[in-house]
A and B are shown apart, each in its own frame.
Chain A
Amino acid sequence: GAGVSQTPSNKVTEKGKYVELRCDPISGHTALYWYRQSLGQGPEFLIYFQGTGAADDSGLPNDRFFAVRPEGSVSTLKIQRTERGDSAVYLCASSPGLAGAETQYFGPGTRLLVL
C-alpha cells in the first residue's frame, strides 16, 4: 500500500515569508508526528496528533510554528515569518495509534531552505 507522502519535496522561500508543508499519512493511521532534522543531526520531535487533536506539541520551537489536522488524516505544518534557522528537512510519520511504542512510518521529508 501507499506509504507516508509529503509535499512539496523541496521548498525555497525568503526570510519573513509564510510556508505550508503537507503530510498524507498511511490510510487508517490515527497517529501522526512531525519532526525536524537539521544538517548532521538526528530528527527532533515537533508535534504529535492523535486523530484531530494535538496530543503533544511540546516540541514546537515558538509560536511561529503551528500544525493542524482538521479531519484526522492530512496534516499541514505552518511556519510564519520564516527565519534562516528554520532551514531543515521536515519529516512526517504516522502509526496506527492503537498502543504505545508503535512503529512510526516516515515519509521522505520536505527540504526547506530559507534564504
Chain B
Amino acid sequence: AQSVTQLDSQVPVFEEAPVELRCNYSSSVSVYLFWYVQYPNQGLQLLLKYLSGSTLVKGINGFEAEFNKSQTSFHLRKPSVHISDTAEYFCAVSPMFKGAQKLVFGQGTRLTINP
C-alpha cells in the first residue's frame, strides 16, 4: 500500500519570496510521483511528474521538484512566487507496476500569497 504525507496544511508566503511545499511518501513498491494544483474554482491539473532519470523535475509555471529516494521525499519549490500561484497543491504517487494507474494523494497544502 502507499501513503502520502504533506507536512504543511497551509503555507503563507509573501509575493516574490521563495517557497517549498513538502511531501513524503511511503510505499512497499517503487512509485511514480506527481504534483497536481487546484486553482480556486477549477479542476486539478498536473504541475509536474517524476518517472525516472534526473531527480530534479521541472514543471509548469516555474515550479520544480526533487525526488530523494533515501528520504522518500518529493518536495516542490519555486524561487519566486506570484499572487496567481495561490491554490491548493497535492502530492500524489502511483505504484510502478503493470496495470496500476490509480493515484494516491496527500491531504493537500494551501498556498496563500500575500502582497
Contact = CB atoms under 8 A, between A and B. Distances in A.
A31 B103 CA distance: 13
Contacts, number: 69
A108 B102 CA distance: 18
Contact of B32 (A35, A55, A100): A100
Given A100-B32, A103-B46, A103-B49, A42 B90 contact: yes
B107 A40 contact: yes
Given A43-B44, A100-B32, A33 B102 contact: yes
Contacts of A91: 43-44
A61 B109 CA distance: 25
> How many B residues touch the partner, as a band?
20 to 34
Interface stretch (B14-22, B68-76, B79-87, B92-100): B92-100
Contacts of B106: 42
A101 B32 contact: yes
A107 to B, nearest CB: 6
A63 to B, nearest CB: 20
Interface of A: 3-4, 31, 33, 35, 40-45, 48, 50, 55-56, 58-59, 91, 93, 95, 100-109
